[in-house]
Amino acid sequence: MYINVSVFDTVSGELTRGGQELLQNWDANPNAIIWMDLIKVDPGLESQLLEDYFQFHPLAIEDTLRKNHQPKLEVFSDHVFFILRGVIAGEEPLSFTYQQLAMFVAPRFIVTRHQGQMSSASAAQWGYLMSSRSALERGTSYIAIMLATIITEQYLPLVQELEERLEAIEDGMFVSPRDEHLNELLYYKRQLKKLRRSAAYQEYIFVRLREGGIPYFPRSLRHELNNAYENLERVGSLCTLYGDIANDLMNGYLSLSSHRLGSIMKILTIITAIFVPLTFLAGIYGMNFEYMPELSWKYAYFGVLGFMTAIALGLLWFFRRRKWL
Amino acid sequence: MYINVSVFDTVSGELTRGGQELLQNWDANPNAIIWMDLIKVDPGLESQLLEDYFQFHPLAIEDTLRKNHQPKLEVFSDHVFFILRGVIAGEEPLSFTYQQLAMFVAPRFIVTRHQGQMSSASAAQWGYLMSSRSALERGTSYIAIMLATIITEQYLPLVQELEERLEAIEDGMFVSPRDEHLNELLYYKRQLKKLRRSAAYQEYIFVRLREGGIPYFPRSLRHELNNAYENLERVGSLCTLYGDIANDLMNGYLSLSSHRLGSIMKILTIITAIFVPLTFLAGIYGMNFEYMPELSWKYAYFGVLGFMTAIALGLLWFFRRRKWL
Amino acid sequence: MYINVSVFDTVSGELTRGGQELLQNWDANPNAIIWMDLIKVDPGLESQLLEDYFQFHPLAIEDTLRKNHQPKLEVFSDHVFFILRGVIAGEEPLSFTYQQLAMFVAPRFIVTRHQGQMSSASAAQWGYLMSSRSALERGTSYIAIMLATIITEQYLPLVQELEERLEAIEDGMFVSPRDEHLNELLYYKRQLKKLRRSAAYQEYIFVRLREGGIPYFPRSLRHELNNAYENLERVGSLCTLYGDIANDLMNGYLSLSSHRLGSIMKILTIITAIFVPLTFLAGIYGMNFEYMPELSWKYAYFGVLGFMTAIALGLLWFFRRRKWL
Amino acid sequence: MYINVSVFDTVSGELTRGGQELLQNWDANPNAIIWMDLIKVDPGLESQLLEDYFQFHPLAIEDTLRKNHQPKLEVFSDHVFFILRGVIAGEEPLSFTYQQLAMFVAPRFIVTRHQGQMSSASAAQWGYLMSSRSALERGTSYIAIMLATIITEQYLPLVQELEERLEAIEDGMFVSPRDEHLNELLYYKRQLKKLRRSAAYQEYIFVRLREGGIPYFPRSLRHELNNAYENLERVGSLCTLYGDIANDLMNGYLSLSSHRLGSIMKILTIITAIFVPLTFLAGIYGMNFEYMPELSWKYAYFGVLGFMTAIALGLLWFFRRRKWL
Amino acid sequence: MYINVSVFDTVSGELTRGGQELLQNWDANPNAIIWMDLIKVDPGLESQLLEDYFQFHPLAIEDTLRKNHQPKLEVFSDHVFFILRGVIAGEEPLSFTYQQLAMFVAPRFIVTRHQGQMSSASAAQWGYLMSSRSALERGTSYIAIMLATIITEQYLPLVQELEERLEAIEDGMFVSPRDEHLNELLYYKRQLKKLRRSAAYQEYIFVRLREGGIPYFPRSLRHELNNAYENLERVGSLCTLYGDIANDLMNGYLSLSSHRLGSIMKILTIITAIFVPLTFLAGIYGMNFEYMPELSWKYAYFGVLGFMTAIALGLLWFFRRRKWL
Ligand SMILES: [Mg+2]
Ligand SMILES: [Mg+2]
Ligand SMILES: [Mg+2]
Ligand SMILES: [Mg+2]
Ligand SMILES: [Mg+2]
Ligand SMILES: [Mg+2]
Ligand SMILES: [Mg+2]
Ligand SMILES: [Mg+2]
Ligand SMILES: [Mg+2]
Ligand SMILES: [Mg+2]
Ligand SMILES: [Mg+2]
Ligand SMILES: [Mg+2]
Ligand SMILES: [Mg+2]
Ligand SMILES: [Mg+2]
Ligand SMILES: [Mg+2]
Ligand SMILES: [Mg+2]
Ligand SMILES: [Mg+2]
Ligand SMILES: [Mg+2]
Ligand SMILES: [Mg+2]
Ligand SMILES: [Mg+2]
Ligand SMILES: [Mg+2]
Ligand SMILES: [Mg+2]
Ligand SMILES: [Mg+2]
Ligand SMILES: [Mg+2]
Ligand SMILES: [Mg+2]
Ligand SMILES: [Mg+2]
Ligand SMILES: [Mg+2]
Ligand SMILES: [Mg+2]
Ligand SMILES: [Mg+2]
Ligand SMILES: [Mg+2]
Ligand SMILES: [Mg+2]
């Protein structure tokens, strides 16, 4: 449990860092803005801070506490409320866990609240921002956009590394199709759908912010907003592209492997189809009838052997001519 | 048959609960608002109340009485009319029955009418609301939104439990593909399509309410409206996501099982293809020709056995080298 | 050939019914409105009435006479022109023939013209309306909407009866998949696509009417317009839903039947694969070599029989262990 | 090479027809409008007329000369420029070649330029229009719309004749599925996609013209514009419908033929599976062991024959009971 | 590393070409406009020019330096920033590498920066433009559109050559289906998806420019903008069309080849199914029972041969009658 607080005096430019106790400093100084960061805070204290101290809207608090709320932006009478969702890459390609962030933004305060673990990289960028006078000087909405940018920039590298993998699968597939490809592509399709959905919700948040009209987010931030928007738009577009390619590869793999299996079965069946008439012929002369004139002919055995060879060659020639071999 | 009535005096703050007889109290007191809840009321009485007493629009009453009308919102000259559709979860995952609710909302009254059974959970929330002074104080439109929220929040838990089930199917599928998976996934796809359709109609109702312009629903209710909207939007989005994943799993299952079947057939056919030439050879020396010189050679039998072994091993080596085994 | 005419005096409230001759009454009385219904009228008379007497726009008449024009709404300088398309249910589920209706609507007249047969039910509603003083009192645009409602309400029952049939197919499919299912589902998919297309054109007509701005269709008719709109919207939505489900069932059926066939082939092939090595062994000892020491051993025959049983059981055990049986 | 020119005096109503030389008459008479039709004109003369005489915009001329430019409408400062694309039906159903038409329209002139061949039917309509005083009286934009209508009405008959063919394929398919169906349906799908694309571009041109705001195309032409729009909209909608049905039929054909093949293979394999155990049994008693007690039993042979019959009947009964036959 | 600079005096019409040193001339002359083209410039110098000298927005510079940024248009306070993406055709059909171009456009300057190689054709057009007085006279926004047109016109020829190839594949497929077709079509589908995505981003840039409202891009350039837009729109539309056709061909190929394989397997299996009963019969009379009365009948052998022929012919007749052959 951590409560990290930065209080910044917009007149004197003084930055004070500490814990919950700094709320008093902020209250006392009308020029001060505060950034309070809540990490795994005990529910009782958390509700006391959000409900009683800051008096956020009950529906916003409800959303904050719900697990896996979809990313959103909602304007309340005295603050703007965000839910954002980052991803922390796992070891496998495209594996990830979500990192949910709630933000309450108003001109004099920004309250951030984490659900789940932060990645070490974003924790570092976070820490840097908390002690950056120049960032706090640009106001709470600038901080909010910077945090959103940190969060959303986790998506692109996760998705981009897939291109190479997909091309490797395509190349490998035509050499030696293997069953694990199917499993892997199915997994990618599922993960890409989830990532695209997450990115789409957040892209929509930045579309609204870019359009203007959201309080406390001035037009001067439009390039930063556009930067975050473009990043998410690209993630969504790549998810669609790679998802389509994965689908095509999956279909291609299945076709190819059913095709190869078919060719094998064909050759095996041709082997059978050639020997079955020959075996029948051998069976004929294995019969024990008393009166079978051929049996006593001198070269009958060799004649039959020759006839069998002729049948076999004839069938082979027939199969070849019809391009079955 | 139940008629539950709450009459609330907006000046004195007095709440009276009872049955149909309270209509007189409401009529007599211009400060009073009424909530009348009709549960399986006898058609004659029902039409008397809706047509004669409240004089609702005939087309609204027609919609109310029709079974399975799609959810809708329509503004009439002196009331706003809603049809909403909840779901009551059955025992199987994703099984449900609909719970249809018609609502007539005006500043001085709200009339609610059920079709089908209510779930016990929503009946309890309903009862609580009927006797809640603080809720009635906020007006009939607030009551209407609360009821809609109760109804529409039944969808999300129903859909969410599917994620785990789908991952279990995916995991199980690669271990031992079973035919019931196909049946189950087909069933999920159908149910998800129905749920998404229901959610989409209701999402659209809240989009319209949120946009404003619907009489009696003031901007002060926008956070409650947004809450219901987001819930339904999420249901729809998850239905699409899970429906896509179910589809992918179904295709994956079919591919996998046809693939495995193919591999089995290949091995069985290889067994046949190896023994067929050997059997032919045995057939040759089972022929009864009088003049077959090999038959009298001393080690011919062992030579033929050796030759057969060589053919079998040669074919195995050939199949292995071509990666058929 | 029928020409049915109703002339209604909006001042005296007098209603006169008859044929073509009533046109004079209408001409003479500026307070009169007329409804002329043309059923299979001879082309010469028809063109005289539409072109010369009413002087409708040539492009509207061209559309009226064309077979199978898509449903439309077009505003001309002195009348509004509609083409609508009803369906008359056939005997098979989802079988139908179209019933095309052209309407010319202006404040003082409504001219309706049928192509093809009317269903008996709609003919009765039609007749009732023609002699209904209270309907004519509400004006020609009200008549037009009532006719459109009669026409478009034919769609919903046609589509709704499919739900039960689809569930029956789904249930039956997993018990005994039959080839006729495929044919039937293919047929449903085609019919649903045609119905959806027809409904979509007409839904769009009511969207435009509801939006307002179409002359002679006042806002006071909005609930009637909305009623027709909702009906058509539901038809379209159900067509999409059932079409999707039919598609899923078709894919499910094909998978299931190819799957079952595969299982059968597997067992048949296992039978062959077990007996082929045994037959080979029998072939060995059927060879006629002079020196085959085993042949003279006392219990060789029983030994071979035992060995064969061992091979058969071994193969069965092997196939079972690999879950091929 | 043809240059057909009509010059019409809007005051005197005089119509003069001829070649390139009429440009002088037009130049000299400010009341005259001109229609110049260029058919396979030599590039030098063409560029002299378009670039130097009429001074059209270089980008419009570039589009005119490019082969297969997509249909378009572009407003230039002193003329409106169209590229339209008709179709000339070939002998096969749905086969066609494109007929590209460029038009430059201004109040005083309309210049039309063909690429490729005209159909004889449209050439006749074209000729009629060129010498129609009443058409030229309505102005150059009316001429332009009439030409566009001639061009775009070539699509519908081409597409409509497909409905019958598709139903014939559907009926034939369930009787005797043939490989040519596959080829034919694949061909229809491709052609329908091309037609839909062409129709969609042109539909969009008429959407823009109908909306108004395009210079020289007054609101009084709206019914003619709507007529052309509806025609193209219907073409597009039918292309989509028939393309979907063709797709369903293709999938249906494939399923059906793979299904039938499967049934055949099953029966053939059952034949094999019944005889293989019997042949094994015969093989047993064909072995040459010295001590095989059964061989000398009196009715052993008939007993074995009976046993074989029993096995065969037993297997048949087993296959029947499991519904494999 | 090259820095190509053109400085053009808009008053005297003088054009000076050279390197980085011309920045001074431009600085000194308020009537001068500059075009600076940066090709593989060393990062230090590049950042000095972009950041320090021109003082472009840091987010624009970040986008410029990022590899594979999606095409975009962003308006900054004192310049408009573009990222465009051309394609350089490789040797295979549809193979290409991207050619990324960043442009900073303001009334007095245009700075262009390449990433990757230019094609020799576009390098030549580029060089021509840099020394074209008449182009520079029309201003920096005209230059920008000309460059964008050069870049985007590389797409169409790449895509168009596919039509012929696809028809060749379709024709060849029905004659002799080959496995490489599958690989090739899969490759086309992937490449078309990438091209369409690239074209769509750039199409959107021109939609925005055509709509107007982007600073420095006056309405007088609208025909040039429309020309580039139409080119990209056509690329996207053809990518969709050919992608769909490639998909249909792929499905057609797979169906066809599985179909042919099936027919072959059927005939091979028929061969087996005919000989298996005959071989059984031969096996019967190869048994060594002491008491088999038929063995000693005079014409038994010939009778059996005749019976076998009858069975074979009977089976052939049966298979033919059921249309299996
Ligand atoms: Mg999604
Ligand atoms: Mg972007
Ligand atoms: Mg996007
Ligand atoms: Mg996207
Ligand atoms: Mg795909
Ligand atoms: Mg739906
Ligand atoms: Mg939301
Ligand atoms: Mg949504
Ligand atoms: Mg939705
Ligand atoms: Mg789906
Ligand atoms: Mg998918
Ligand atoms: Mg599929
Ligand atoms: Mg349609
Ligand atoms: Mg509705
Ligand atoms: Mg709809
Ligand atoms: Mg719909
Ligand atoms: Mg589906
Ligand atoms: Mg499919
Ligand atoms: Mg298209
Ligand atoms: Mg239309
Ligand atoms: Mg359309
Ligand atoms: Mg369409
Ligand atoms: Mg299609
Ligand atoms: Mg379909
Ligand atoms: Mg894309
Ligand atoms: Mg275009
Ligand atoms: Mg486009
Ligand atoms: Mg496109
Ligand atoms: Mg595709
Ligand atoms: Mg397709
Ligand atoms: Mg498919």
pLDDT digits (tens, 9 = 90+) for A107-158: 999 999 988 777 877 888 988 999 999 999 999 999 999 999 999 999 999 9
Hey, of C75, C175, C279, C311, which one would you mutate to test binding to chain D, going by the most D CBs within 10 A of its CB? C279
Which of B183, B202, B244, B264 would best serve as a mutation to test chain C binding (most C beta carbons within 10 A)? B264
Structure confidence at residue E298 (pLDDT): 87
The percentage of residues in chain C with a pLDDT greater than 90, rounded to a whole number, is 75
pLDDT category at B79 given cuts 50, 70, 90 is very high
Cβ within 8 Å of A, E 179-218: 179, 182-183, 186, 189-190, 193-194, 197
- pLDDT at B175 > cutoff 80: no
Phi, psi of D14 (to 5 degrees): -80, 135
Q: Contact C64/C78 with Cβ under 8 angstroms?
A: no
Contacts of E262 in chain D (CB under 8 A): 258, 261
pLDDT band at B81 (very low <50, low <70, confident <90, very high): very high
Contact (Cβ atoms closer than 8 angstroms) between residue E242 and residue E163: yes
Strand partners, E35: E6, E110
Q: What angle do CA A20, A24, A29 make, to 5 degrees?
A: 130
**Which ligand is closest to the CA of A198, given by its number?**
1
Give the model's confidence band at B181: pLDDT under 50 very low, under 70 low, under 90 confident, else very high.
confident
Rg for chain C, CA atoms, rounded: 36
Mutation target to probe the D interface, by most D beta carbons within 10 A, among C301, C304, C307, C316 is: C301
Answer whether A286 sits within 8 Å of E282, measured CB to CB.
yes
Give distance in angstroms: CA of C196 to centre of ligand 13. 6
CB-closest option in A74, A265, A287 to B269: A265
pLDDT computed for residue B323 by the predictor: 85
Mean pLDDT of C160-178: 85
Phi/psi of residue B12, each to 5°?
A: -80, -20
Q: Residue B324: which of A176, A264, A279 has the nearest Cβ?
A: A264
In the predicted model, what is the mean pLDDT of chain A?
Answer: 92
Structure tokens at A27: 């209250």
The count of other CB atoms within 10 Å of the CB of residue C293 is 9
pLDDT in tens, A264-314: 999 999 999 999 999 999 999 999 998 898 898 889 999 999 999 999 999
Cα–Cα dist D150/D129, whole Å: 11
CA distance A280 to E277: 9
Q: What angle do the packed helices D179-211 and D222-284 form, to 10 degrees?
A: 160
In A, which residues are within 8 Å of B234 by CB distance? Answer: 70
Is the model's pLDDT at A179 over the cut of 80?
no
| Mean pLDDT score of chain E | 92
Nearest CA distance, C220 vs chain D (angstrom): 28
DSSP code string of A9-23: ETTT--EEEESTTHH
Query: How far, CA to CA in Å, does E322 sit from each of D258, D324, E266, E317?
Result: 16, 18, 13, 9
Q: Do A292 and B287 touch (CB under 8 A)?
A: no
CA A124 to the chain's CA centroid: 24
pLDDT at residue D209, as a whole number: 96
Chain D, 162 to 181: residues with Cβ < 8 Å from chain E are 176, 179
The complex scores an ipTM of 0.87
Query: Which pLDDT score, from 0 to 100, does residue D235 have?
Result: 96
Using an 8 Å Cβ cutoff, are D140 and D35 in contact? Answer: yes
Please check the confidence at residue A177 and state whether its pLDDT lies above 90: no
Q: What are phi and psi of E118, to 5 degrees?
A: -95, 150
Cβ partners under 8 Å of residue C266, min gap 6: B261, B264, B265, B268, C324
User: What does the mean pLDDT of chain C come to?
Assistant: 92
Q: Give the pLDDT mean for E195-221.
A: 95
Contact between chains at A179 and B249 (C-beta distance less than 8 A) = no
| pLDDT at residue C116 tops 80 | no
C151, C121 Cβ separation under 8 angstroms: no
The residue ranges of chain D whose pLDDT is under 50 are none
Percent of chain B having pLDDT more than 70?
100
Contact assessment for residue E156 and residue E196, using Cβ atoms and an 8 Å cutoff: no
pLDDT over 80 at A28, yes or no: yes
**What mean pLDDT comes out for the span E81-106?**
93
Which other chains touch chain A, taking contact as 3+ CB pairs less than 8 Å apart?
B, E
Q: Ligand 6 centroid to C245 CA: how many Å? A: 11
* Any E CB within 8 A of A9 CB: no
| CA E155-E158-E162 angle, 5° bins | 135
Residue E140 binned pLDDT confidence (cut-offs 50, 70, 90): very high
Question: For residue D285, what pLDDT is reported?
Answer: 92
Buried b (16+ CB within 10 A) or exposed e, D207-233: eebbeeebebbeeebbbbbbbbbbbbb
Share of chain E above pLDDT 90, in %: 74
User: Burial code of E108-135, b = ≥16 C-beta within 10 A, e = fewer?
Assistant: ebbbbbbbeebbeebeebbeebbebeeb
Q: Residues lining ligand 22 (ion), CB within 5 A?
A: D 236-237
**d(CA C273, nearest CA chain B) in Å:** 6
Q: Which two tokens stand for residue A310?
A: 């002729």
Q: What pLDDT does B247 receive?
A: 93
The CATH superfamily holding the domain E265-321 is Magnesium transport protein CorA, transmembrane region (1.20.58.340)
Chain D residues with CB-CB distance to E237 below 8 A: 70, 197
Predicted pLDDT at A253: 84
pLDDT of residue D178: 74
Give the pLDDT confidence score for residue C204 in this predicted structure: 96
Write out the residue limits of the CATH 1.20.58.340 domain(s) in chain E: 265-321
CB count within 10 Å of CB D293 equals: 9
| A227 interfaces chain E, CB cutoff of 8 Å | yes
Q: Is the pLDDT of residue E117 over 90?
A: no
Neighbours of chain D (3+ CB pairs under 8 A): C, E
Q: Which residues pair with A89 in a beta bridge?
A: A96
Chain A residue closest to E286 (CA)?
A287
Of all helices (H) and strands (E), which one includes residue D110?
strand D109-115
What is the C-alpha R_g of chain E? Answer: 36
Output C123 or D76, whichever has higher pLDDT. Answer: D76
d(CA B61, CA B47): 8
* Cα–Cα distance measured from residue E43 to residue B213, given in angstroms and rounded to the nearest whole number: 57
> CA E100 to CA E91: how far, in whole Å?
20
Rounded distance from Cα E183 to ligand 1 centre (Å): 30
DSSP type of residue C296: G
Kindly determine whether residue E275 and residue A280, on different chains, have CB atoms separated by under 8 Å. Answer: yes
Full 3-state SS string of E158-175: HHHCHHHHHHHHHHHHHH
C226: Cβ contacts below 8 Å, ≥ 6 apart? B59, B74, C206, C210
Question: Which pLDDT value is given to residue D70?
Answer: 94
Q: What are the CA-CA distances from residue A71 to residues A98, B204, C140 (Å)? A: 11, 20, 52
**Single-letter amino acid code for the residue at A296:** S
Q: Reply yes or no on whether the pLDDT at E224 is more than 90.
A: yes
pTM over 0.95: no
Q: How many CB pairs under 8 A join B and C?
A: 112
Most A CBs within 10 Å, among B289, B315, B319, to test the A interface: B289
Each residue's pLDDT tens digit, B239-276? 999 999 999 998 888 888 888 888 889 999 999 999 99
Contact D170 C189 (CB under 8 A): no
Q: Which of E268, E287, E311 to mutate to test the interface with A (most CBs of A within 10 A)?
A: E268
pLDDT at residue number E254: 82
Nearest residue, CB atoms, C269 vs list B60, B70, B265: B265
Of the listed ligands, the closest to the CA of D239 is: 22
Question: Would the CB atoms of B189 and C248 count as touching at under 8 Å?
Answer: yes
- Determine whether D11 is exposed, middle or buried from the number of CB atoms within 10 Å of its CB (0-12, 13-18, 19+): exposed
Q: What pairs with residue D100 in β-bridges?
A: D85, D115
Q: What mean pLDDT comes out for the span B277-304?
A: 91
Count CB atoms within 10 A of the CB of residue E325: 12
pLDDT for the residue numbered D254: 82
Q: What pLDDT was estimated at residue B176?
A: 75
Percent of chain E with pLDDT over 70: 100
C180 band by pLDDT with thresholds 50, 70 and 90: confident
Cβ-proximal residues to C146 (8 Å cutoff; 6+ apart), any chain? C129, C135, C224
Q: Is A74 on the interface with B (CB under 8 A)?
A: yes
User: From the CA of B168, how many Å to the nearest CA of chain A?
Assistant: 13
Q: What is the mean pLDDT of residues A191-220?
A: 95
Chain C residues inside the 8 Å CB shell of D288: 285-288, 292, 295
- Residue-level pLDDT at D222: 94
C183 falls in which pLDDT band (50, 70, 90)?
A: confident
A174 or C59: which leads in pLDDT: C59
Token output for C246: 């039919």
Lowest mean pLDDT among C32-36, C146-150, C296-300, D198-202: C296-300
CB atoms under 10 Å from CB of E307, counted, come to: 12
Of C250, C254, C279, the CB nearest to D283: C279
Q: How confident is the model at residue E178 (pLDDT cuts 50, 70, 90)?
A: confident
Q: From CA A280, how far away is CA A282, in angstroms rounded?
A: 5
What angle (nearest 5°) sits at the alpha carbon of residue A184, between those of residues B250 and E259?
Answer: 55
Compute the residue count for chain B: 325
At residue C162, the pLDDT reads 94
Average pLDDT for residues C280-306, to the nearest whole number? 91
At C96 the pLDDT is 94
Burial class for D294, CB neighbours closer than 10 Å (0-12, 13-18, 19+): middle
pLDDT at E135: 94
User: Of D254, D286, D296, which is closest to E290 when you measure between CB atoms?
Assistant: D296
The CATH architecture one would assign to domain E2-257 is 2-Layer Sandwich (3.30)
Q: Which of residues 228-247 of D touch E (CB under 8 A)?
A: none
Residue position matching structure tokens 């559309």: C63
pLDDT of E137 reads: 94
pLDDT digits (tens, 9 = 90+) for D110-123: 999 988 777 877 88
By C-alpha distance, the chain C residue nearest B270 is: C273
Per-residue pLDDT of C196-225, as tens digits, reads: 999 999 999 999 999 988 999 999 999 999
pLDDT value of residue A251: 86
Across the interface, whether the CB atoms of C272 and B272 are under 8 A apart is answered yes
Residues of chain E with CATH 3.30.460.20: 2-257
Instruction: Please give the Cα distance from D309 to D315 (Å, whole number).
Output: 10
**Candidate from D245, D290, D324 with C-beta closest to C296:** D290
Assign C282 to helix, strand or coil.
helix
* Contact map slice: C 276-295 vs B, CB within 8 A: 276-277, 279-280, 283-284, 286-292
Do B248 and A285 count as a contact with CB atoms less than 8 A apart?
Answer: no
Alpha helices in chain E (DSSP H): 22-28, 43-47, 58-65, 120-130, 133-137, 140-152, 155-160, 162-175, 179-211, 222-284, 300-321
Is residue A98 helix, strand or coil? Answer: strand
Closest CA to A66 of B153, C90, C112: B153
Residue E29: per-residue pLDDT: 95
Structure tokens at D114: 């063909």
Rounded to whole angstroms, the Cα distance separating B192 from B235 reads 10
pLDDT band at E57 (very low <50, low <70, confident <90, very high): very high
> Considering only CA atoms, which of C114, C68, C189 is closest in space to residue D157?
C68
**Max Cα distance, chain E (Å):** 125
C70 in contact with chain D, both atoms CB, cutoff 8 A: yes
Tens digits of residue pLDDT in B140-154: 999 999 999 999 999
Q: How far, in Å, CA of C278 to CA of C284, rounded?
A: 10
In which band, very low, low, confident or very high, does the pLDDT at E325 lie, cut at 50, 70 and 90? confident
Mutate to test the interface with A, among E203, E251, E259, E264 (most CBs of A within 10 A): E264
Cα dihedral across residues B26, B27, B33, B35: positive or negative: positive
